[in-house]
Structure 1
Amino acid sequence: MFHRGRLLPVFSACLLLAACTPPSTVTPPPGMPGSVRVATPASGERLLQIDPQATLLTITVRRGGALARLGHDHVIASRTVTGWVAPEPGQADFQFRLDAMTVDESGLRAQAGLDTTPSGDAIAGTRHNMLVRVLDAEHYPLVRVQARLQPGAQAADAAITLHGVTRTVRVPVRLEQAGDGKSLRASGAVVLKQSDFGIVPFAILGGAMAVQDPMELAFDIVAIQASAPGSAAAPAQ
């Protein structure tokens, strides 16, 4: 017999954006883009600074297996994204803190169409285990993304660094730029696989309770003109 209240926090934590294995260097599978190199913008180059208050990044993870009804799907969100966008070369460099992410905001669960309601205790336990037992946020507090827009294409190559692992993926992007060039919005969604990051999806009872391999990443990033060219803070190299 499983006590659902005790099982869910541990089970849910392994659903979240992270490996249940130590950090390692992963070889991209065939068909994946290569490395992304983003240079710090030159002095005087037009630079837009990401507005954390207007920017939202979410990850939706879903349960699987014959006993999936005993668990919950989850939405994890970041509202603390900082960094810059250089429109002319089509580059961006930004990051966010793991310990500032939220778990299962009711509004975001509704938007994602999730049909269960985890308790407050389950959400708190999930968040604690995500940060401490899974992501080791004390030693790896940041997630960093370096992106380069593909010329003439509605996509970007993005190098994502999480828990000591850097992975490059191609991400569909929809861009909206103000006529005066003082603001830009980039939005889109992409499905990533845990196994592409060298992660073995969590499973117990021979897979009767399991984590689905895909993770659904959605982003809505707003960048605005910095107070002066080159004044937007760039993540540390």
Structure 2
Amino acid sequence: MPQHQAATALAIDDAASQITIIVRRGGLLARLGHDHLVLVKNLQGSVDPRSQRARLQFRLDEMEVDPAALRLAAGLQPQPSAEAIAGTRRNMLTRTLDAEHYPLVQLQAERQGEELALQITLHGVTRKLRVPATIISDGHKVQAEGSFTILQSDYGITPFAVMGGALAVQDQLELHYHLLAHE
């Protein structure tokens, strides 16, 4: 009998996991715009504790823009109107991310000490990066959390802008994650 039995893959618990993206305003007229918080919904994937690798994915059209409680917790005030949120979501999905042609974001991660070697596929472009992670694992569940930034332009995305860039979205996005996977 083998000394170590192969561990089964642990499923990502979407209800107990959270990825948020902070989108900052920019341009000469930035004061007229809003910073935004985007919440990833319906995160799917699994973690293989034996190989310390994970695969995750989510649909862009299932993300939620500016949930009030999360905006407040992130210190983003005031809350935009429902009309402004709907416009932001529409522009994000159609003009910026082209969610019709690139509906999925896919992530692959491998634990390397206190970091994750991460591969992100977004907008048809795949990039590799190393991100900090606090990881707790007991073989039956894995928790990971951390924060990092990416540039939209690294993925072939032109940040949203109007009025010749006087009101724009900054290229850099802030991502914060807390993930839980279990049997």
TM-score by length of 2: 0.89
Q: What secondary structure is seen at the aligned counterpart in 2 of 1:132?
A: helix
The equivalent of 1:91 in structure 2 is 53
CA distance in 2, matches of 1:130, 1:210: 12
Per residue, is there more strand in 1 or in 2?
2
* One of 161, 167, 170 as aligned partner of 1:212: 170
Q: Which amino acid aligns with 1:46?
A: T
1:94 positional shift: 0.9
SS in 2 for 1:121: helix
1:184 aligns with 2:154: no
Contact 1:90 1:148 in 2 (8 A): yes
Local SS of the residue matching 1:211: strand
Cα offset for 1:207?
A: 4.2
Give the number of aligned pairs.
Answer: 179
- Residue of structure 2 in register with 1:55 after alignment: 17
Q: Which residue of 2 aligns with 1:229?
A: none
Partner of 1:221 in structure 2? 179
Give 3-state SS (helix, strand or coil) of 1:144's partner.
strand
How far did residue 71 of structure 1 move?
0.4
Aligned partner of 2:66 in structure 1 is: 104
Q: Which residue of 1 aligns with 2:42?
A: 80
1:9-59 Cα deviation digits (max 9, x unpaired): xxxxxxxxxxxxxxxxxxxxxxxxxxxxxxxxxx94432111111111110
Deviation at 1:136, TM superposition (A): 2.4
Aligned partner of 2:128 in structure 1 is 168
Contact 1:50 1:221 in 2 (8 A): yes
2:28 is paired with a residue whose SS is: coil
Q: Provide the residue aligned with 1:69 in structure 2.
A: 31
Q: Which runs of 5+ in 1 are unaligned?
A: 1-42, 226-237
For 1:58 and 1:211, locate their aligned partners in 2 and report how far apart those are by CA, in whole Å. Answer: 16
More deviation, 99-108/135-144? 135-144
Alignment of 1:120-199 (within 5 A): 120-150=82-112, 153-178=113-138, 181-199=139-157
Alpha-carbon deviation of 1:210?
2.8
Question: 2:24, 2:45 → 1: CA distance?
Answer: 29
Out of 59, 79, 89, the position equivalent to 1:117 is: 79
Deviation at 1:91, TM superposition (A): 0.5
Aligned alpha-carbon RMSD (Å) = 1.9
Query: What is the distance in 1 between the residues matched to 2:53 and 2:77?
Result: 38
